Amino acid sequence: MRLVLASTSPRRLDLLKRIGIEPARVAAPDIDEDPLPGELPRPYVLRIAAAKAQAVERAADEIVLAGDTTVAVGRRILAKPEDEADLRRMLGLLSGRRHHCYSAVCAIGADGKARTRISDTIVAFKRLTSQEIDWYVASGEGMGKAGGYAIQGKAESFVRFLSGSHSGVVGLPVFETRALLLAAGLQLG
């Protein structure tokens, strides 16, 4: 069996390599990632991961793996910031409070069955000063990231508590991913 990663995220590719998995190919799924009206974060991230996996063509000897990560404050989904003002708004929402980082994974095996798993990680940021927000926004690191931050970078200095999967917050929960790939029929070391 060959693995197809339905993601162009360098972070997901790196996380797979950390556990000894090298995809045979990488494909970019083209889907609409907008939340549906009233959609809650957990069902949203599961739906998007499955849609990404289903959007990539799969040969008979291939397993397709896709993932999606979202940050949620209560029922609010914090997608990727649109601009610096949006990033500031997100950091203000995250400041001094706990939030959930949902990371869903979907694998479609040779049998055509879609298997999904989700990790729910609770992250708490320290109360951020306006200078810290300015510093982080100026770094550019939060742009293009769910929730407006990259835990594997400068934003890790804001984290006062984490319960769950650090790799899930980065973008691919490796424990859940490995279990899914085994269930889908990929031979792992």
pTM given for the model: 0.94
Dist CA 13 CA 7 (whole Å): 8
Fold of 2-184: Maf protein (3.90.950)
- DSSP annotation of 135 reads H
The 10 Å Cβ neighbour count of residue 99 is 20
pLDDT tens-digit profile of 109-167? Answer: 988 999 999 999 999 999 999 999 999 999 999 999 999 999 999 999 999 999 999 99
Identify residue 93 by its one-letter amino acid code: L
Q: Does residue 45 carry a pLDDT above 90?
A: yes
What is the residue extent of each domain of the chain?
2-184
What angle, 0 to 180 degrees and rounded to 10, lies between the N-to-C axes of helices 10-18 and 174-184? Answer: 80
Provide the pLDDT confidence category of residue 74 given band limits of 50, 70 and 90: very high
User: Averaged over 80-86, what is the pLDDT?
Assistant: 96
Q: Is 86 among the residues known to form the active site?
A: no
pLDDT tens-digit profile of 86-120? Answer: 999 999 999 999 999 999 999 999 889 999 999 99
Among residues 68, 86, 111, 120, the one annotated as catalytic is 68
| Tokens encoding 24 | 């045979």
